Amino acid sequence: MRKVIEGSAAIAEAIKACRAQVIAAYPITPQTHIVQELSEMVANGALKAEYVRVESEHSAASAVLGASAVGARAYTASSSQGIMLMAEVLFNISGLRLPVVMTCANRAISGPINIWNDQQDSYSVRDAGWIQLHAEDNQEAVDLHLQAYRIAEDPRVQLPVMVCMDGFVLTHSYEPVDIPEQELVDSFLLPFRPARTLDPADPKTFGMYAEEGYTETRFAVQRAMQSSKAVIQEVAQVFERHFGRASGGLLQGYRLEDAELVLMGTGSILGLLKSVADDLRVRGERVGALKLVSYRPFPTETLREKLAGVQKVAVFEKAISPGGVGILAGDLRSALHPVKNGPEVSSFIVGLGGKDITAGTILQAVEMARAGYVESHFMELDEEFLAAAVE
Amino acid sequence: MDRHSLQAGHRACAGCGEALGARLAIDAIGEKVIIANATGCLEVFSTKYPESAWTVPWIHSLFENAPAVASGIEAGLKALGKADSVTVVAQAGDGGTADIGFGALSGMFERGHNILYLCYDNEAYMNTGIQRSGLTPLDARTTTSPPGERSWGNDTMKKDLPAIAVAHGVPYVATASVAYPHDVQAKVKRAIKVKGPKYIQIHVPCPLGWGFEGQLTIEIARLAVESGLYPLYEMENGRVTRVKTVPKRVPVEEYLRPQARFRHLFKTPGGEEQLRRIQEIADANAARFGLGPVETPQPVGV
């Protein structure tokens, strides 16, 4: 059913439609509206699930780990500091191959403390062994959650999935969203049937101390990540046939045919990047946009295909590896490195801590990228502030 | 039970009190159990890949999250309609319980999960090489609380975790000791009949960490109880319901002297004063729980 709904409420509807059985979460802005909606659904009986009101994000991740290990479909959500506090559990969940799904309502990390949107939180746990999918708008956020459980629980994958959606920009925005009918979701997402569970009838030891087999276990996670690329594409295709709209996949190109310059990013910034590409096309410039949906696994092969013939890529990212470069740009350069005459990748850091990103910001970066290689550049710095206050 | 929950062949040291305590406690539950185990000696020595000594379903995640993992297991079993047929256990050592896992434990207690929490108390971080924890007793030598010119060893009192559990409204709280195996098992059996969170703290001497020969584990554990330093009691709904009285309470020196971790108290001038302080702890326990007087009062000293 299509209705105007807040992003967070739409996600709660999606989790309900997925029939999550255990929800454990700790409040943090801007994730809170999602878990409040879910609490209400559990309280009024609309969602038959156990809601565990944990005392920290560390315990939220740990509780969904335990629930998943006994065979329950489990869900959590967090942001920012919460993702940081969960970090060691996130690695553990993927190592245990538990198909938990969580939402990251992307937010800046302290310090200084800032509640507004960027993507430093999810990017900082890129190595945790979670599939990370980025939503451009609230419809896609809903669709990615439905796809996430199917991807995570696929026997070829058995890895957790983090659906990333920009905090406030999406979580607190009202948009028309199609909330799929329960029957439609039920025929798309079958009940969770894990290969192994903690079960007294068939006792197994999970989470052993390993020296022998440690490397191989880590390799198995890497291999499953690689296999998940095909599964992510396949699930997106099945989703389109089933629900009648395209959503998800590894990446989505926009006006890439004959493009010389491609504007690339993850999440809600894509609307702006596409609109700037449209404006530049009107001026006769061959510009396209590329939305990376799956940041992990990183779709190296597909990116090489899509960017074949492109001269320059301007990457816009709301995260930085201090002392290094923009994280996404670094990954893209590495993926394109073996490509002969591949595109030059410039990196622009934008929108940290909710800083406004305007068409002007993007156009300025486009000019810089055209002028030459930009290793990594902070856009829209307040030079007066820097001179006066930072040191 | 034909086979033990924790089978022989694991890699614990000879005389390990924790291995014995865990086997006794889980055997008392039977096969219908799921265990969430914190990081520590027990996890390492019982599950070195590709072998596991556990014959019951068991999961290890991290150091500080066994109570939260167990909470998720219990919630998952409820959601799947299987909660009534399985006992959920969370277990950890003293460091995993009193220090790093304390927040998660408090959350588990407060939410009222139907979980038995077992703390195997060997009074220091043994797995990492005998470092001081919140349950290390006064004056014990550990590698991070060494005695020296300006130190008598650990300078803090043992944290009273059972009292903290009681303060959460935990309906069943008990202490136990591997010196009294039937008592350990009786307490576990009573605990699992109680709905809600349960806390049992089992004293499990560590030959390596405390500095005594492995064949003395039971003897040392018994002296801890007989001296009044490790009182054994049960508290149900906030009230002391059973106490193991000690009609012939021994001076604390009899417990302390055989252990290398307290040797400095007997070799260093001024040690008598420390021994008097430790005797006062035992006397306070005796008064609090009605253990009984010291049988043959002797002047305390070197």
A61 and A203, same structural domain? Answer: yes
CB A56 to CB B103 under 8 A?
A: yes
Q: pLDDT, tens digit, for every residue of A231-243?
A: 999 999 999 999 9
A99 and A30, same structural domain? Answer: yes
pLDDT beyond 50 at B59? yes
Q: Indicate which CATH number applies to the domain containing A200.
A: 3.40.50.970
Residue of A150, A155, A90, A79 whose CA lies nearest to A113: A79
A209 and A132, same structural domain? Answer: yes
CB A59 to CB B61 under 8 A?
A: no
A371 and A291, same structural domain? Answer: yes
Its sign, for the CA torsion A211, A217, A222, A223, is: positive
What's the CATH superfamily of B17-246?
Thiamin diphosphate (ThDP)-binding fold, Pyr/PP domains (3.40.50.970)
DSSP string, B94-107: HHHHHTTTHHHHHH
* Contacts with B244 (C-beta within 8 Å, 6 or more apart), sequence order: B180, B183, B225, B231, B232, B233
**How many of the other CB atoms lie within 10 Å of CB of B86?**
21
Q: In chain A, pLDDT over 90 holds for what percent of residues?
A: 99
What average pLDDT does the structure give for chain B?
96
Interface of B with A in 20-39 (CB under 8 A): 31-34, 36
DSSP string, A96-109: TT---EEEEEE---
How high is the pLDDT of residue A230?
A: 98
B71 CB within 8 Å of a chain A CB: yes
Q: Which residues of B are less than 8 Å from A208 in CB distance?
A: 47-50, 52, 60
A239 and A133, same structural domain? Answer: yes
DSSP A164: E
Domain limit, last residue, from A243, A260, A288? A243
φ, ψ dihedrals at B81, nearest 5°: 70, 25
How far apart (Å, rounded) are the C-alpha atoms in residues B204 and B41? Answer: 12
A309 and A213, same structural domain? Answer: no
How many angstroms away from the CA of A1 is the closest CA of chain B? 28
How far apart (Å, rounded) are the C-alpha atoms in residues A226 and A234? Answer: 14
Contact assessment for residue A217 and residue A210, using Cβ atoms and an 8 Å cutoff: yes
B238 CB within 8 Å of a chain A CB: no
Nearest CA in chain A to B100: A58
Residue of A6, A12, A27, A3 whose CA lies nearest to A172: A6
A146 and A64, same structural domain? Answer: yes
A166 and A44, same structural domain? Answer: yes
How high is the pLDDT of residue A191?
A: 97
CB A210 to CB B49 under 8 A?
A: yes
Q: Mapping DSSP to helix (H, G, I), strand (E, B) and coil, where does residue A52 land?
A: strand
A296 and A237, same structural domain? Answer: no
Residue with tokens 């999970």, as numbered in its chain: A206
- A131: domain range? 2-243
How far apart (Å, rounded) are the C-alpha atoms in residues A173 and A163? Answer: 17
What average pLDDT does the structure give for chain A?
97
* Identity of the amino acid at B21: G
How high is the pLDDT of residue B94?
A: 98
Domain limit, last residue, from A243, A270, A304? A243
Q: B302: pLDDT confidence band, cut at 50, 70 and 90?
A: very low
pLDDT beyond 60 at B164? yes
Residue of A337, B98, A332 whose CA lies nearest to A348: A332
A216 and A78, same structural domain? Answer: yes
Nearest CA in chain B to A72: B76
Q: Indicate which CATH number applies to the domain containing A384.
A: 3.40.50.920
DSSP A386: I
Average pLDDT for residues A86-95, to the nearest whole number? Answer: 98
A94 CB within 8 Å of a chain B CB: no
A225 and A274, same structural domain? Answer: no
* Contacts with B53 (C-beta within 8 Å, 6 or more apart), sequence order: B6, B7, B8, B9, B10, B45, B46, B47
A200 CB within 8 Å of a chain B CB: yes
How far apart (Å, rounded) are the C-alpha atoms in residues A311 and A303? Answer: 14
Q: B107: pLDDT confidence band, cut at 50, 70 and 90?
A: very high
Domains in chain A: how many in total? Answer: 2
How many angstroms away from the CA of B200 is the closest CA of chain A? 22
Domain limit, last residue, from A243, A259, A285? A243
CB A50 to CB B76 under 8 A?
A: yes
As for the ipTM of the complex, it is: 0.97
Look up residue A29 and give its two tokens: 């802005």
A279 and A238, same structural domain? Answer: no
Domain ranges of chain B: 17-246
